Amino acid sequence: MFCAPEKPGAKPDVLKVAAQEKGVKVFQFPSLKNDDAKKVLTDLDVEIGVMAFVLQFAPQDFVTIPKHGTIQFHPSLLPKYRGPSSINWPISRGEPRTGLTIFRPTDGLDEGPVILQKETRITPDDTLGTVYFDRLFPMGVQAMLEAADLVVAGKHRELVQDESRASYEGWFREVEARINWANHVDVVYNLIRGCNPAPGAWTTLNGVKLQVFDCKKVPVRTFSAVKGKVGEVVECTPAGFQVTAQGGRIEVLRAKLGDGKKVASTDLLSAGSIKPGQLLGS
């Protein structure tokens, strides 16, 4: 097994630990471009290479060393959503479906020919966590095994990606995760779902960072039902508190204030940290 060296002070790579526990040799080269890494892979006489979570660039003269080459996992329906945060983006944009792709790695990021794809629905209440842990992760394990068997048996097909349908998305980090309460409630709701549990959609309360995790969307049907200003905490409920956005409200059920822990919103209400009339995002 090849994995990137850990940075000083970082926790051990979980895949490295699991491999060592099972007696699998682990190799950590600063770069897979160097001759030492290529020699090790050549000497191992590998049947097929599998790339599932890649933190290092793997050049073509490395990935083509195994007898049947290398296959790679990507959690989107390529060629859409190439890039490192390919689960966050479709959820945050309200996409109704996503999936996974097993493909041949090339020097271009997620650009290689497709071997196998699996699709799954994104339900209106799905989050990053449910889509990945409940579906894409177990589906991905099975798809990698299926693809590897097909490749080794010589029964696979390789479909060149349609560049006219391709999209590349960069990292979904703190900047992208900031809530704009002036957006439509659907946009705010999808953003929160796409960031739950990481990186965590966020706003501010009196200058302190407030991360929002579990939530519900409460549409406004009539003009008379509109309450408060955009970003205002307008109502406390048995489950949490509601914040006004365009076209509705977001009921926050789980949140994290400042350096505190992630807690039920009712705990923040009980502590007096959240009160009706407060304006978020200011």
Domains of the chain: 31-165 (3.40.50.170), 185-270 (3.10.25.10)
Quickly count helices (H) and strands (E) in the chain: 8, 12
Q: Is the pLDDT of residue 222 over 80?
A: yes
Give pLDDT, residue 115.
98
Give the torsion sign (CA, 241, 243, 248, 252).
Answer: negative
Strand partners, 212: 201, 255
- What are 61-79's pLDDT values in tens digits? 999 999 999 999 999 999 9
Find out whether 179 and 187 touch, Cβ atoms under 8 Å.
no
Say what the alpha-carbon torsion angle 52, 124, 114, 69 is, to the nearest 10 degrees: 10
Report the mean per-residue pLDDT for the chain. Answer: 96
pLDDT band per the 50, 70, 90 thresholds, residue 53 = confident
Answer whether residue 153 shows pLDDT above 90: yes
pTM, 2 dp = 0.93
Answer yes or no: is pLDDT of 282 > 90: no
Instruction: Give the per-residue pLDDT at 54.
Output: 86
**Residue 160 clears pLDDT 80, i.e. is over it:** yes
SS3 68: coil
Which residue(s) pair with 254 in the sheet?
Answer: 264
Q: Which two tokens stand for residue 61?
A: 């003269």
Count CA atoms within 13 Å of residue 50 on its CB side.
15
Going by pLDDT thresholds of 50, 70 and 90, the confidence category of residue 87 is very high
Alpha helices in the chain (DSSP H): 14-21, 35-44, 60-63, 88-92, 128-129, 137-152, 185-194, 265-270
User: What mean pLDDT comes out for the span 82-104?
Assistant: 97
Q: What is the pLDDT of residue 21?
A: 95
pLDDT band for 13, please (50, 70, 90 cuts).
confident
Beta-carbon count within 10 A of 135 CB? 19
What pLDDT band is residue 224 in, cutting at 50, 70 and 90? confident
In sequence order, what are the beta bridge partners of 89? none
Which pLDDT does position 186 carry in this prediction? 97
Cα-based angle 97, 249, 180 (whole degrees, multiple of 5):
75
